[in-house]
Each structure stands twice: as structure tokens, then as C-alpha cells.
């Protein structure tokens, strides 16, 4: 991963793909609430996790991470978790 900005843009794109059609016009910022403002339920979040694995070529199950999608409340939570997963996988440097 080249930069924090690139990671953020990819994660925002992933979130945008998972948002139900009736919520697509809502603005997405780091503080946007996933369920209340974007209509993402647990199935939508899990779908996003599977898509994350495809895009970043990471097997989250192999990393032995404990991910609780119920704790993902905002876009910022998803970005932070994505960063942690990629660091654990060795796909993102600490720099």
C-alpha cells in the first residue's frame, strides 16, 4: 500500500459499494455512522469484509484476528480496522 490516503480512498470505495441504493446520496465522511446514515447492517458489513479480502488479497481468517462487526460504527472505525488488518498481514508499513 502506497499511502494512508490511498488506503482511505479504497476503503471509502468499498463502503460506497456496500451502501444500499436508498442511502447512496448521503455524504460519506470519516465521522459518518455506518448504520444510521448509510444503512449498512451486519450483512452489508460482512459483505464489505469479504470484498476487502478480495481487493487487498488478504485472508483475514488466516491472520487469526478477532473482528466484531458490531463494533464498526463509523467510517473511521472501518478505516482504522483496515489499517490494522493490513499491518498484521504485512501489506502496510508503520511509516
C-alpha cell at 86: 493490513
Any residues with CB less than 8 A from the CB of 84 and at least 6 apart, and which? 65
31-40 pLDDT, tens digit per residue, is: 999 999 999 9
52-89 pLDDT, tens digit per residue, is: 999 999 988 888 777 777 788 999 999 999 998 999 88
CB 3 within 8 A of CB 91: no
**What's the CA angle centered on 51, arms 94 and 89, to 5 degrees?**
30
Q: What's the predicted TM-score (pTM) here?
A: 0.85
C-alpha cell at 26: 448521503
Q: Domains for the chain: give ranges and CATH numbers.
A: 4-89 (1.10.1200.10)
1-60 pLDDT, tens digit per residue, is: 557 889 999 999 999 999 999 999 999 999 999 999 999 998 888 888 899 999 999 988
Amino acid at each position: 500500500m502506497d499511502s494512508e490516503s490511498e488506503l482511505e480512498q479504497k476503503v471509502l470505495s468499498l463502503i460506497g459499494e456496500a451502501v444500499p441504493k436508498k442511502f447512496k446520496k448521503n455524504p460519506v465522511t470519516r465521522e459518518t455512522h455506518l448504520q444510521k446514515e448509510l444503512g449498512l447492517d451486519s450483512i452489508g458489513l460482512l459483505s464489505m469484509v469479504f470484498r476487502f479480502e478480495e481487493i487487498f488479497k488478504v485472508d483475514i481468517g488466516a491472520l487469526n484476528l478477532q473482528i466484531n462487526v458490531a463494533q464498526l460504527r463509523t467510517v473511521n472505525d472501518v478505516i482504522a480496522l483496515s489499517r490494522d488488518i493490513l499491518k498484521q498481514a504485512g501489506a502496510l508499513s508503520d511509516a
